[in-house]
Structure 1
Amino acid sequence: MAAKEIEVTGSGQSRLFVTGSTGELGRLVIGELLKRIPPGRIVAGVRSPDHEVAKQFVAQGIEIRVADYAQPETLVKAFQGIDRLLLISSSADDGRLAQHENVINAAKAAKVGLLAYTSLLHADTSALGISEDHRRTEAILAASGVPHVLLRHGWYMENHVHLIPTALQHEVVLGCAGEGRFSTASRGDFAEAAAVVLTTEGQAGRIYELAGDESYTLADFAAAISAAAGRPVAYRDMPEADYKRMLIDMKLPEVVAELIADADTGASRGELEDGAQQLSALIGRPTAAWRQAVERASTAGDGQ
């Protein structure tokens, strides 16, 4: 359903809560909400009120409340009087599921009217290693009785764009995705989708499979870098175990290396490609163009 077909609840005084609001996605969601509703209706969940971003929220007229996923006692208090809540998936390597359950239980106790959860693209069928926590979180939500909507996120474009400086330095993009395609979208796209859902009616029970309008292989990605920079850059496919070992040798934490390599392998199975264009329909515009992002980063040389 296109965003323009949904009646925006601009006249109500419901209060919206964004967890993890000082993170990259959370900050963008807050920014999108400010385009739609007064700051007095927004509550930003933070782990520390002394965080620089938290101080910026206060300066904008946004209330901040301490809400730490790992400290359940902070959550019920934080969620009092909240009508709609965005649960941004925890980035914790261990204990992610328990943290999500803490938030869901607190939302139920506080009688939150709608919980939106940032899950994983096709979490119900995905074989990606990270899918299990998302699948189990969705099951906990279903059993909780809390009205909810699932925002199943595909791969973030930024996950690839930040690789560009290294690719230019070594004239190669490394991976283990084979000819698998990625339907990436920007964090800004996903943030706008969350803001639309939080500020429109009729969302309970919906499941959105959110991915970019266009897809590409890592060979396409390397070719786009090469074309933009005017320098040779090629894609080199590797066995998953070798790619993971190389990432660890590059000083990435093992859990991160495993996630990246597993995502590439998942892409080779088609798990990160989706052509339904539900994301662009929801936000009422095309998703960010990956080639333009590559051109900007390749010519700037900073990966941004």
Structure 2
Amino acid sequence: MIGVTGATGQLGHLVIEHLLKTTAANNIVALVRNPQKATALKELGVEVREADYTKPATLTTAFAGLDKLLLVSSSEVGQRATQHQNVIDAAKAAGVKLLAYTSILHADTSPLSLAQEHVATENYLRAADVPYVVLRNGWYTENYLASVPAALANQAFIGCAGEGKISSASRNDYAQAAAAVLTNSAPQAGKVYELSGDESYTLAELSAMISEESGNTIRYVNMAEADFAKVLEGVGIPAPFAAVLADSDTGAAKGGLFDDSHTLSKLIGRPTDSLRSLVKAAL
């Protein structure tokens, strides 16, 4: 039995879709905060169970009978470490034989502030004596492509990543990798996968590609971190999260989002989705 947390989220749902290609639906459990929002998952034939990271009692019940568990990291920055610890404790109590955790690329050396809670979770995993495998996901290409409409409207793509190279991959690529690890017959406990896209690019290069594919001239405007955060706040992003996004760009400028190991493509058995194909899809 394989359980996937955050299954109504974009990544979790994709993981389940990939699992269904090789695993019977009755061996997959979708773990969700709100079962009422899981109609699409039920239609796939998988079992849906309530599992709220902030309610340990739901986790204890939800993990019963599971052999493997994917812990998709919480989206609640600042509360992640405690929430993840609740999941790990419940998994240990339930006798889960393998816990896979979605961390961040090169968590132990990353300059991104986002890495702190991931490092705390990885440390807790080691201390908890639970068989685990770490999927250190790089940046999602979709994180940047969400800015395409604004870039077209303003004829500018803004950020503060400077000349930093970004080795992002699609959410689908990372989901396929998670499914591959969860269904791999080879022992996975103790492994740490550094996962990133095959291509690496600067935001100036991304802007040039958007220009080519859209027929518009989109220039990259590199800003100071504080100024970029203010712009993000100005379009409605809450100040704390705007600060995290700006910090992540600064981290990219320091090499925090670069990796050329090609571990992800090796794991999924194909090249990662090309940046150009994803830009075309976004347009």
TM superposition score normalised by structure 2: 0.98
Deviations 1:121-141 (A, max 9, x none): 000111211111000100000
Aligned match of 1:42: 28
What residue in structure 2 maps to residue 254 of structure 1?
239
Query: Is 1:206 aligned with 2:191?
Result: yes
Partner of 2:89 in structure 1? 105
Do 1:18 and 1:85's aligned partners in 2 also have CA atoms closer than 8 Å? Answer: yes
Instruction: Give the 3-state SS of the residue equivalent to 1:215 in structure 2.
Output: coil
Does the 8 Å contact 1:211/1:277 carry over to 2? yes
Structure 2 stretches lacking a partner, 5+ long: none
Given that 1:224 and 1:295 are in contact with CA atoms closer than 8 Å, whether structure 2 keeps it comes out as: no
From 58, 75, 87, give the equivalent of 2:59: 75
Question: 2-side partners of 1:253 and 1:287: how far apart?
Answer: 32
Identify unmatched segments of 5+ residues in structure 1: 1-14, 299-304
Q: Distance in 1 between matches of 2:40 and 2:211?
A: 39
Is the CA contact 1:93–1:255 (under 8 Å) kept in the aligned structure 2?
Answer: no
Residue pair 2:78, 2:117 contacting (<8 A) in 1 also: no
- CA shift for structure 1 position 263: 1.0
Please say if residues 113 and 244 of structure 2, whose CA atoms lie closer than 8 Å, have aligned partners that are also in contact.
yes
> Helix, strand or coil for the counterpart of 1:50?
helix
Partner of 1:19: 5
Equivalent residues in 2 for 1:140-155 (5 A)?
A: 140-155=124-139
CA distance in 2, matches of 1:255, 1:48: 26
Matched, 1:55 2:39: yes
Equivalent-residue separation in structure 2 for 1:61 and 1:239 (angstroms): 49
User: 2:224 corresponds to which letter in structure 1?
Assistant: P
Residue identity opposite 1:105 in structure 2: D
Which of 89, 101, 106 aligns to 1:117? It is: 101
* Equivalent residue letter for 2:175: A
Per the alignment, in what secondary structure is the counterpart of residue 17 of structure 2? helix
Cα shift at 1:265: 0.5
Looking at structure 1, the residues matched to 254 and 122 of structure 2 have their Cα atoms a distance apart, in angstroms, of: 23
TM-score (norm 1): 0.91
Aligned length, in residue pairs: 282
Residue pairs, 1:97-246, within 5 angstroms: 97-201=81-185, 202-246=187-231
How far apart, in 2, do the equivalents of 1:251 and 1:60 lie? Answer: 35
Aligned sequence identity (%): 52
Return the match for 1:269 from 246, 250, 254: 254
- Conserved? CA contact 1:172–1:236, under 8 Å: yes
Per the alignment, in what secondary structure is the counterpart of residue 183 of structure 1?
Answer: coil
Shift of 1:192: 0.2
Deviation beyond 4 Å, 4+ runs, structure 1 = none
**AA aligned opposite 1:37:** T
Q: Does the 8 Å CA contact 2:111/2:254 hold for their aligned counterparts? A: no
